[in-house]
Amino acid sequence: MLENVPRIIQAPMAGGPSTPELAAAVSDAGGLGFLAGGYLTTESLLGAVRAARALTHAPLGVNLFVPGPPAADVDAVAAYRERLVPHADLLGVRLPAVADLPWDDDDHYRAKIDALCALPAPPELVSFTFGLPGHDDVARLRALGTLTVATVTNEAEARAAVALDVDGICVQGPEAGGHRGTHDAAAAPDDRPLEDLLPAVIAALSEARRRPHITATGGIGTPRRVREVLELGADSAMAGTAYLRADEAGTNATHAAALATAGRDTLVTRAFTGRTARGLANTLALAVGSAAPAAYPAVHHLTRPLRAAAASAGDPERLHLWAGTNFAGARPAPAAAITRWLAGGTDAAIATVITDK
């Protein structure tokens, strides 16, 4: 079971921020570091696992995206493409034709499961988001000694996860940065704050045959917030945005600079991928976000060249700037120092860490 899982877990952040160096540093500091398998090829994921293993002997986690049914609203995506063209033109980018989008992209899910299971030293923990793994996947990983965790955003998802006999659930509140892990990409996500959602999920599982390990995530960026979710019944706390400016993170420079800019707020939008995600408010999200269809992964692939050009050009107004509600507290510091601070340091400790760098 998950009795020995550290109290502080570094969230897997796909698309660059999660690196082998970040995961290893967090695990070496007494937390649990995660590698984000989303958007990587199978070989790239294996390379990241090998690189992290070379840096630490401590346990590591890997997160996988569970594929859902492909979005089929071609007309809605085509209309959204037209809304994006002026933004793409400003960056000199041609958006892919709707007919050329990989509508059925499954993020190499099956190949990644097979590859992880074939490793001489599989990851100690594999977590799943956007949906639930198959029962056979859970049993196969458990036979190798790998623990499984499912991301959930409401009571129904939690009950379904526990019915699969996963070892743990990660209860994700709306304060979390990046994608909300709803199992139905088209559904409106639950907007109850984590302090209400977490007890409700715990209560819903009170009659379960076995209580899973419960991790809480969403807006967790201070030791006080960690203590609060543990007092509400969580066994561990997961922080993501708090690590975006860590020395070992792979956050691109445009994103990192925007996190340090005063005067921004966050919003939830489908503008960049078709899935609901929380990030810093910017021109593109505000201008076209309300028109974005719930068509993941088609919209993700549609906007990909635009986002890449924005990152290269240093344009934060057309880039997905994933960030949780605690983003203003993210600090440039070693990941180990952030981990130890979250685990029990005082609110002033992180300032000392930065001064001493």
What's the pLDDT tens digit per position in 41-98? 999 999 999 999 999 999 999 999 999 988 778 999 999 999 999 999 999 999 999 9
- Say how many CA atoms lie within 13 Å of 78 toward its Cβ: 7
Q: What is the pLDDT of residue 108?
A: 97
Which residue from 173, 255, 167 is spatially nearest to 214, judged by alpha carbons? 167
3-state helix/strand/coil string of 45-66: HHHHHHHHHHHCCCCEEEEEEC
Q: What is the pLDDT of residue 218?
A: 98
List 214's β-bridge partners, or say none.
169
Give 67's DSSP letter: P
Residue 133, burial from CB neighbour count under 10 angstroms (0-12, 13-18, 19+): buried
Residues 119 and 49: beta-carbon distance below 8 Å: yes
Q: Could you read off the pLDDT of 16-55 as tens digits, one per residue?
A: 999 999 999 999 999 999 999 999 999 999 999 999 999 9
pLDDT bucket at 3, cuts 50 / 70 / 90: low
Residue with tokens 């088209």: 186
Q: Could you read off the pLDDT of 238-292 as tens digits, one per residue?
A: 999 999 999 999 999 999 999 998 788 999 999 999 999 999 999 999 999 999 9
Residues 205 and 162: beta-carbon distance below 8 Å: yes
Residue with tokens 């030293």: 121
At residue 194, does pLDDT exceed 80?
yes
Residues 46 and 38: beta-carbon distance below 8 Å: no
Residues 128 and 150: beta-carbon distance below 8 Å: yes
CA distance 67 to 130: 7
Cα dihedral 137, 102, 20, 275 sign: negative
| Residues near 43 by beta carbon (within 8 Å), at least 6 away in sequence | none
Q: Could you read off the pLDDT of 312-325 as tens digits, one per residue?
A: 999 999 999 999 99
Average pLDDT, stretch 198-224? 94
At residue 107, does pLDDT exceed 70?
yes
Average pLDDT, stretch 123-146? 97
pLDDT bucket at 356, cuts 50 / 70 / 90: very low
Q: Could you read off the pLDDT of 135-187 as tens digits, one per residue?
A: 999 999 999 999 999 999 999 999 999 999 999 999 999 999 999 999 999 99
User: Which range has the worst mean pLDDT, 3-12, 119-128, 154-163?
Assistant: 3-12
CA distance 186 to 271: 13
pTM for the structure as a whole: 0.95
Residue with tokens 């203590």: 227
Strand order in the sheet with 266-269: 178-179, 277-280, 266-269
Average model confidence (pLDDT) for the chain? 94
Q: What is the pLDDT of residue 348?
A: 55
